[in-house]
Amino acid sequence: MMDTAGSVSKGCFVFKGKKKNANIDDYLPTDKTRRSRLCHTTFVQMWEEIDMQIQILQADFNCNIFEELLNFTQTCHEKFSLEDKCFNNAIDEIPAAALVTGVNTPDHSTMFNNLIVMLRERVTPQVAILKSKDCQNVKSILSRTLSQLLDKQYMDDDVVDNEDAELNSKSLPLTLATLSKWYRNKVMRAKNLSSPKKRKSTDGTPVAMATYPPVVVVMEDFENFVPRVIQDFIKIASNYINEVPLVFIFGIATSVSAIHRLLPNEVSSLLCMEKFQAPPSSEYLSLAINKILMTENYPFKLGQGVFQLLLDIFLYHDFSVLNFNQALRFAMMDHYMTQSLSFLCCPLNNVESVVKTMDSADVEQLRHLKSFMRYVEKCSVKEQPDLLLKDSFAKSQDRIVELIHAIHDYQTDFFPILKCLHTLVCKLPGYPLGKQVREVYSVTLQTNVFDTEDYKQAKDLLKMLSKDELGSLLQQCCGILATEKRLTIVLKEMEEQLNKIDNIDNIVEEVDEENKEPADTNLPSRTSLHQLRQYFICRKYLICPLNVPLHEIFYYNSSRTIKQRLNAAPRSALQMALSNPHYYLQCECCMTESGQIKCMMPDTCIIYKLHLECGQLINLYDWMQAYLTVVQPDDDDESKESAQELQARFIQAVSQLQFLGFVKPTKRKTDHVARLTWGGC
């Protein structure tokens, strides 16, 4: 039920809908060719691998903070006992954990869901989660808490007896005394068992529970709770701390000071709080980029425009890890749907078998790629006609397989060298190439980094480093390259330069006695620190991907599509739809010139166009008369609808316009509405 009591048209409406499973064929191209099927299959395979890596990263990312929080909930009631009244009487504070999660609101539900699963597996089955929207008074808090704790799905079959079944009935009083009685019966029943109760975690290993497992109440969005309500609940709970080992977990989006703004001293003194700081989501962003986008394990890559757009949305809009992952999935899905040759963007082991399935149409499509045309221009004159005209030549020579293997090798070599470049420039004054590796990566996606002014500035700053600073940076680069088998030559060269820097004071000029010339033709006769600075990075490995043949198959560059779908402007879209309904309805009869109104248009569009001609306050009667003039311009009584039907259509259209945020009721004049926008479309 949706209450619309504040609407121009007052009423209560029911909105029902049926769930419908999506059919893949409805979203594939209309021809449903073998190529589109193969692209979809490849996308599913690649996304499953990436999604698995994302889940692993998310689990590892919050691992440390969750371990500390689990340890806190396990140990805060270690000495609790229902028999030892002397000790329990000394307890006068409720253990509370303030979990500072950051402002990435869309991700909080996922984080707390994972936390609750871990709490139930490793600490206690008695966990309740509360959200502010469901807890507008103390009664609703108690109802939500008791319904979750006393629900049989969170209880072990071994410890449920008749008394517990009675406590689980709907007629129970909503008080913590009910919880206290239920907890005592549950614990006493468990203590009478012959062996300590064990639960199984998700991996199947048994986890022993404490004799007195705590009762954990998680408040996900603590800052949004009504202060008076949460204060009363804490006061009530403090009276039962000797009977139930309660533990509170407060989810805080900003800082711990928010707790003190909500709770006065007399209430906060009832809590024994400890702060837990979740890692910022920007760290996860860097981790995800390094493990997913900046690795050769997944051939699909984002182009510079899309990559920068996703970064901007994350850093300047929502800080949402969940939204970033969904955006990555959408970009990948759109790439495989719109790029007809994207089935070649597959794991390296599948390349040869996939290429064998290509037909003449696929080869012809590949020839139209701009990068392939540039590649053909660089080939010999003898090869060019065959590459452009003969399908058999391209396949018999395994030229396509060779090019795809080349781009895989390019990605394998590219990222370690990129990290070396970032290591050299990340701490330079002014950060000409940025502080994060993703900033250097964004530059290399667009152009040759060695031709940019930022790199030239970074190079000048590198020349000013001392011997020790330069040696330390090269040592870090050697550590990056140590595990790269394909870059052993680069590693050897870098180690030689590092050795020369370490022995710069001992290098002497070696002269060939016969020719009186330097013996080493690669270095000047006298090696100086300034000259050694010229031998840092191999330029051939940091080629811009736009210069690599067949890069269109692997790099997604439709930033305009991403911006329209993920960073849309709803207000502009609404105004465009109401002003030009034919664009969305594909209806020629609704097509009009600017400012023109037709009776065939939807009522909401007519009302919207008429309201653009009004001032700040709109008279409803005049507005309706203008609407009637548009929808029934002739004087034929037979074609006219009844006055009640037209009035109902008008009221419905005005209500829709109010729902969209263009007008609102006003108390200045009872028969007027206030306009909330200025100007036209």
- The band of 6, judged by pLDDT with boundaries at 50, 70 and 90, is low
Q: pLDDT at position 597, please?
A: 82
What's the CATH number of domain 570-675, 1.10.287, 3.40.50, 3.30.70, 1.10.10? 1.10.10
Residue 641, pLDDT above cutoff 70? no
CATH 3.40.50.300 for the 63-278 domain, yes or no: yes
Enclosing H/E stretch for 247: strand 246-252
Segment of 278-287, 326-335, 462-471, 602-611 carrying the highest mean pLDDT: 326-335
**Minimum mean pLDDT range among 46-60, 100-114, 441-455:** 100-114
The β-bridge relationship of strands 94-100 and 12-13 is: unpaired
- The band of 86, judged by pLDDT with boundaries at 50, 70 and 90, is low
Residue 589, pLDDT above cutoff 80? no
Strand partners, 127: 216
Strand partners, 275: 98
Q: pLDDT at position 341, please?
A: 92
Question: pLDDT, tens digit, for every residue of 35-73?
Answer: 888 899 999 999 999 999 998 888 888 888 889 999 999
523: Cβ contacts below 8 Å, ≥ 6 apart: 531
SS3 content of the chain, % helix, strand, coil (to 5): 55, 10, 35
Number of CB atoms found within 10 A of residue 246's CB = 23
Look-up of token digits 């690669």: 522
Instruction: Decide: 547 and 539 in contact? Cβ < 8 Å.
Output: no
- The band of 518, judged by pLDDT with boundaries at 50, 70 and 90, is very low
Strand partners, 12: 3
Mean pLDDT of the chain: 81
Measured between alpha carbons, how far is residue 509 from residues 141, 190, 498, 500, 505 in Å? 83, 85, 19, 13, 12
Instruction: Decide: 86 and 62 in contact? Cβ < 8 Å.
Output: no
Instruction: Decide: 99 and 221 in contact? Cβ < 8 Å.
Output: no
Rounded Cα–Cα distance for residues 371 and 375 (Å): 6
222 φ/ψ angles, rounded to the nearest 5 degrees: -60, -35
Q: pLDDT at position 15, please?
A: 53
Token pair recorded at residue 495? 């180690």
**Minimum mean pLDDT range among 166-170, 470-474, 619-623:** 166-170
| Residue spans per domain, the chain | 63-278, 570-675
24 vs 591 pLDDT, higher one:
591
